[in-house]
Amino acid sequence: MKAEKRDLKEIVSRRIEFFRKKPESALYKPKVSSKHIQGLYTETKVREHLVQSDYGEAAGGTNMAPNPIELLLSALAACIEAAFYEFAVHEGFTIHALSVDAEGTLDLRGLFMIDDVSAGFKDVRYTFTIETPDDEGRIRALAEKVIAHCPVVDSLIKPPVISGEITVVKGAKP
């Protein structure tokens, strides 16, 4: 574990220095490709990883995986934990455990196009628990700074412009 922390500290330090010198190199363009498999079940390729999504049985799915909105909450929790951990290691803090519980409120009338109701979250709440022997004030200050700079949090607070195209291919599959 010590080697892992030392390597992470070195990686973060090198990246900070590099991005300060070459800000244009800091542009990151992640890409995923998703494919409908059956029913409400989809598989998304993320680098060499497979992310599965499905809905619970009550919603018409087979409950084989989290649904897309649960994956969004998962991304929020994972981003907070990972970003905090890398900067805590960089700053020399000792972290014994991290956990994030996240939940949100949706009005499903938006998804089902009933009334003029937004389909997105009305609110999202998290509880970030940090187990450490270090100074609470310094840990809390770092956590607040990291959360304010977490890409998932920032994307939810200040949504990006979303654009795209729809391609319809006519024809019957054999």
Please report, in tens digits, the pLDDT of each residue of the chain (174 residues total): 455 666 989 999 999 999 999 989 888 999 999 999 999 999 999 999 999 999 999 999 999 999 999 999 999 999 999 999 999 999 999 999 999 999 999 999 999 999 999 999 999 999 999 999 999 999 999 999 999 999 999 999 998 999 999 999 998 776
Last residue of a domain, one of 45, 65, 85: 65
C-beta separation of 75 from 137 below 8 A: no
How far is the C-alpha of 66 from the C-alpha of 106, rounded, in Å? Answer: 16
Cα Dmax for the chain: 65
166 occurs within a structural domain:
no
- 116 plus 156 within the same structural domain: yes
CB 60 within 8 A of CB 39: yes
- What pLDDT digit, counting tens, does each position of 77-110 carry? 999 999 999 999 999 999 999 999 999 999 999 9
Domain contains 14: yes
Look at residue 148 and tell me if it is in a domain.
yes
- Flag whether 48 is in a domain: yes
pLDDT of residue 1: 46
165 in a structural domain = no
- Residue 53's SS3 state is strand
Total tally of structural domains belonging to the chain: 3
User: Do 78 and 121 fall into the same domain?
Assistant: yes
**Residues 82 and 19 grouped into a single domain:** no
The DSSP secondary-structure symbol of 158 reads S
Q: Is 12 within the bounds of a domain?
A: yes
**The pTM is what?**
0.87
95 and 142 inside one domain? yes
Question: Are residues 147 and 77 part of one domain?
Answer: yes
Which residue range is the domain that position 59 belongs to? 31-65
Residue 51: in which H helix or E strand, if any?
Answer: strand 49-53
- 42 and 85 assigned to the same domain: no
At 2 the pLDDT is 55
